[in-house]
Amino acid sequence: MKFFKWTLLTIVILLFSGLIFRGWLYRQFFSYKTIGQRTEYNATDKRLTDYIDAKTKDSKPTDINDIINLSLGLTSDGLNFREAKNDNDPNKLVKSKNAHCVGYSAFFSTTCNYLLTKYDYADSWTSKALIGQIYFCGTNIHRYFNSAFFKDHDFNSIENKQTGEKYFVDPTVNDYLSINLVTEKMK
């Protein structure tokens, strides 16, 4: 009985630790390699700009991390993951609300760039929608899938135009696991 209690306690502690440190653990084991860049969209639809403005009316971002977190939250709240063929244009996604990783990335990038402009960060920072591949412990996981759907995965970079400082996010992973930042695989 004592062994059972200690085993159960150990499992609970490991699960709790994994939950608390999931972002750090994810960044240690998974990395993203950029293989291309997607089309960039501007927020031109009034529904999209109204959505962003309404959700951020009480926000006072103090740094780029606040902008990134706002953009991730808006993307997560505004979209539902669907593997089926979907639009990728955020101006259309605001209505359909269904997207896969390409749409999530485009929506995030458009939202982030809109907020960068709104809060006077656009001269220094920009967001880009990237095409990439995910690596687990240094191994490309895409080669294990036969489906065209899994040939690549979209994520985003947020880059300082002057210093070259970069942050990387995966809005799809953020929606499911609440992990804000991801790691880029060095070339």
CATH code of 82's domain = 3.10.620.30
User: Does the pLDDT value for residue 187 go beyond 90?
Assistant: no
10 located within any domain: no
46 located within any domain: yes
In a domain, 47, yes or no: yes
The answer to whether the Cα torsion of 100, 54, 156, 66 is positive or negative is negative
Percent of residues, the chain, with pLDDT higher than 90: 73
Distance between CA 187 and CA 59 in Å, rounded? 37
Tally of domains in the chain: 1
Confirm whether 14 is domain-assigned: no
d(CA 136, CA 134): 7
Mean pLDDT computed over 122-130: 97
* Residue 74 binned pLDDT confidence (cut-offs 50, 70, 90): very high
3 lies in some domain: no
Place 63 in a pLDDT band, splitting at 50, 70 and 90: very high
User: Which tens digit of pLDDT belongs to each residue from 28-56?
Assistant: 999 999 999 999 999 999 999 999 999 99
Identify the domain containing residue 107 by its residue range.
31-177
The pLDDT confidence band at residue 186, using thresholds 50, 70 and 90, is low
Q: Would the pLDDT of 116 be above 80? A: yes
Residue 70 is encoded by which pair of tokens? 């706002």
